[in-house]
C-alpha cells in the first residue's frame, strides 16, 4: 500500500514518518529529494541556473537555499518556475526509491504539497494528514529553523488551507499543543494496526 503523508510546514510530518519507519515502513522524503537534486552536482542545478541566473548557485556549488526561499515565497511566478523544474524530477526520483520496497512493505511518501498536486494524489492509495493549528506550525518552524515570523507566514500563505487538506485525508493524526511525542507515537501505533496489521 502507498500512503501519502502530508501536512503544512512544521505540522510534524517528519516526526510521524520516523514513527512509521520504526514500525517498518519505507519512507520516501520529497523534501530530502529536493535537497539532493540541488546539492553540489545535483541534477536540477543547470536548469535552475538557466532560469534564475548563476548567482543562485553558491560558492559551494549548491543551490543558495536562503536566497531562493526569499525569491520564491515572495513571488508566485518564481515559485511556479522552480516547481516546474523540480517537481518532475522529484516525482521520478520518489517513484524509483519506492521501487526498492520489500514485498508487502508499506511505502510512505512524505509530500508537503500533496493536497496541491493532482499527480501526487493519483500516485497514492491513501492520504494521511498531520494536522495542527497554524499558530503552532508557526512556533515550531521558528524554533526549529530560526526563520522569522514573516518568513514562515509567507510559506504558509503559499500552501493549501487546513480545510483543503482535511477534505482529501483518509485519516488524521492530531499534533496539537499538549500532544507530546509519546502521544503522537501512540496515534501512529493505532493507525499502523488499523491499516497494516489488522488487514494482513
Ligand atoms: C525554496 C527552497 C529552496 C527553500 O529551501 P529551505 O531549505 O529553506 O526549506 P526546505 O526545503 O527545508 O522546505 C521547508 C518547507 O517549506 C515548504 N515548501 C517547500 N517548497 C514549497 C513550495 N514550492 N510551495 C509551498 N511550500 C513549500 C514545505 O513545507 C517544506 O517542508 C526549497 O524549499 C525548494 O527547493 N522548494 C521547491 C521544491 C518543492 O516544491 N518542495 C516541496 C516538496 S515536493
Ligand atoms: N508533538 C510534538 N511535540 C514536540 N515537538 C514536536 C511535536 N511534533 C513536532 N515537533 C517538533 O516540531 C518541529 C516540526 O516538526 P517536523 O519537522 O516533524 O514537521 P514537518 O511537518 O516535517 O516540517 P516541514 O514541513 O518543515 O518539513 C520539529 O522540530 C519537531 O521535533
Q: Is 6 in the pocket of ligand 2 (CB under 6 A)?
A: no
Q: How far apart are CA 162 and CA 24, in angstroms?
A: 29
Same domain? 122 vs 152: yes
Which CATH number does the domain housing residue 173 bear?
3.40.50.300
Residues forming beta bridges with residue 60, ordered by sequence position: none
Among 105, 129, 153, the domain boundary falls at 105
Instruction: Tell me which residue range forms the domain holding 93.
Output: 39-105
Ligand at shortest distance from the CA of 173: 2
pTM: 0.96
**97 vs 95: CA distance, rounded Å:** 5
Count of domains forming the chain: 2
End residue of a domain, out of 105, 128, 147: 105
Residues 189 and 115 in one domain: yes
From 105, 133, 157, give the residue that closes a domain. 105
CA-CA distance, 123 to 96, in Å (whole number)?
Answer: 13
Q: Is 111 in the same domain as 142?
A: yes
Which residues are documented as binding site for ATP?
10-15
Mean pLDDT by 10 residues, the chain (200 residues): 97 98 98 98 98 96 96 94 98 97 96 96 97 97 95 95 97 97 98 81
Contact between 87 and 30 (Cβ < 8 Å)? no
Amino acid at each position: 500500500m502507498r500512503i501519502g503523508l502530508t501536512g503544512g510546514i512544521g505540522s510534524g510530518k517528519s516526526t510521524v514518518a520516523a514513527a512509521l519507519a520504526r514500525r517498518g515502513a519505507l519512507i520516501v522524503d520529497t523534501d530530502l529529494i529536493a535537497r539532493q537534486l540541488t546539492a553540489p552536482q545535483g541534477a536540477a542545478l543547470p536548469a535552475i541556473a538557466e532560469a534564475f541566473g548563476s548567482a543562485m548557485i553558491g560558492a559551494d556549488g549548491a543551490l543558495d537555499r536562503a536566497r531562493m526561499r526569499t525569491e520564491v515565497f515572495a513571488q508566485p511566478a518564481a515559485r511556479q518556475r522552480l516547481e516546474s523544474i523540480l517537481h518532475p524530477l522529484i516525482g521520478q526520483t520518489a517513484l524509483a526509491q519506492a521501487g526498492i520496497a520489500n514485498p508487502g512493505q508499506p511505502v510512505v511518501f512524505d509530500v508537503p504539497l500533496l493536497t496541491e498536486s493532482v499527480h501526487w494524489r493519483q500516485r497514492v492509495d491513501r492520504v494521511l494528514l498531520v494536522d495542527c493549528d497554524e499558530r503552532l506550525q508557526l512556533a515550531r518552524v521558528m524554533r526549529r529553523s530560526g526563520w522569522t515570523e514573516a518568513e514562515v507566514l509567507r510559506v504558509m500563505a503559499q500552501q493549501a488551507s487546513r480545510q483543503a487538506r482535511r477534505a482529501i485525508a483518509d485519516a488524521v493524526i492530531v499534533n496539537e499543543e499538549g500532544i507530546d511525542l509519546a502521544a503522537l507515537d501512540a496515534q501512529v501505533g493505532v493507525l499502523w494496526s488499523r491499516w497494516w496489521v489488522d488487514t494482513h
